[in-house]
Chains A and B, each alone.
Chain A
């Protein structure tokens, strides 16, 4: 079974631009979560989607948004990019939001903002 895939793997953008990152979960997985990883802040939760609905959102500004499609694929968008948005963005999928289900992570998208 194929793992979680994320596209693109690497991205370079300029301050003020916007970016869209894509995540395809493991087949059959319906829950998708996004995380930001930086050297200074570590791994931080961005948001969680299940059945096309955002169930939870982390402490990030409104410039960070996301959505989930009927096939469980998810996208996240960052508008008006800032230098501090440079990070590895990780997507994770699980069968459902239940407590016993572990999350499986994709390889991430490395975003560099110049």
Chain B
């Protein structure tokens, strides 16, 4: 069965520093991986996806993610964090050919001024 793990409940970063939010996955077959962000009292906003191709995927708001097949990881990164990046981040994997996303538990990112 497909699964996703986000090993950190919370990540704290100082504004201007690089940030990394970790995600590992377990899938049978090719992985289709996604990152979403959720701000308070809002739905999920799509950041980026990995389907195939380059291992470094660029997304919205300056975020990027690195797909590593040997380590089964898909970590989210940003070179310089902003206070406005503080939110809840979810990694997800698509389950087979259906439009079902399996989400990780989420990682709360706190960027301090």
Q: Which residues from chain A sit less than 8 Å from chain B, CB to CB?
A: 4, 6, 31, 33, 35, 42-43, 45, 48, 50, 55-56, 58, 90, 92, 94, 97, 99-108
A54 to B36, CA, bound (A): 24
Q: Mark B85-101, 1 if CB is under 8 A from A, else 0.
A: 00000101011011111
Q: Is the CB of B100 within 8 A of A58?
A: yes
Q: Is the CB of A97 within 8 A of B97?
A: yes
Of B51, B100, B102, which is within 8 A of A33 by CB? B100
* Chain A residue, CB-CB nearest to B51: A100
* Chain A residue, CB-CB nearest to B94: A99
Q: Between A and B, how many residue pairs show CB distances below 8 Å?
A: 64
A42 to B106, CA, bound (A): 8
Number of interface residues of B (CB under 8 A): 25
* Chain A residue, CB-CB nearest to B103: A43
Chain A residues near B45 (CB-CB < 8 A): 105
In angstroms, how far is the closest chain B Cβ from the Cβ of A18? Answer: 24
Q: Which residues from chain B sit less than 8 Å from chain A, CB to CB?
A: 32, 34, 36, 41-46, 49, 51, 90, 92, 94-95, 97-106
Instruction: Pick the most buried of A43, A105, A106, A107: most chain B CB atoms within 10 A of its CB.
Output: A43
A90 to B42, CA, bound (A): 10
Q: Is the CB of A107 within 8 A of B42?
A: yes
A21 to B47, CA, bound (A): 26
Given A42-B106, A90-B43, A107-B42, do A102 and B34 touch, yes or no (CB 8 Å)? yes
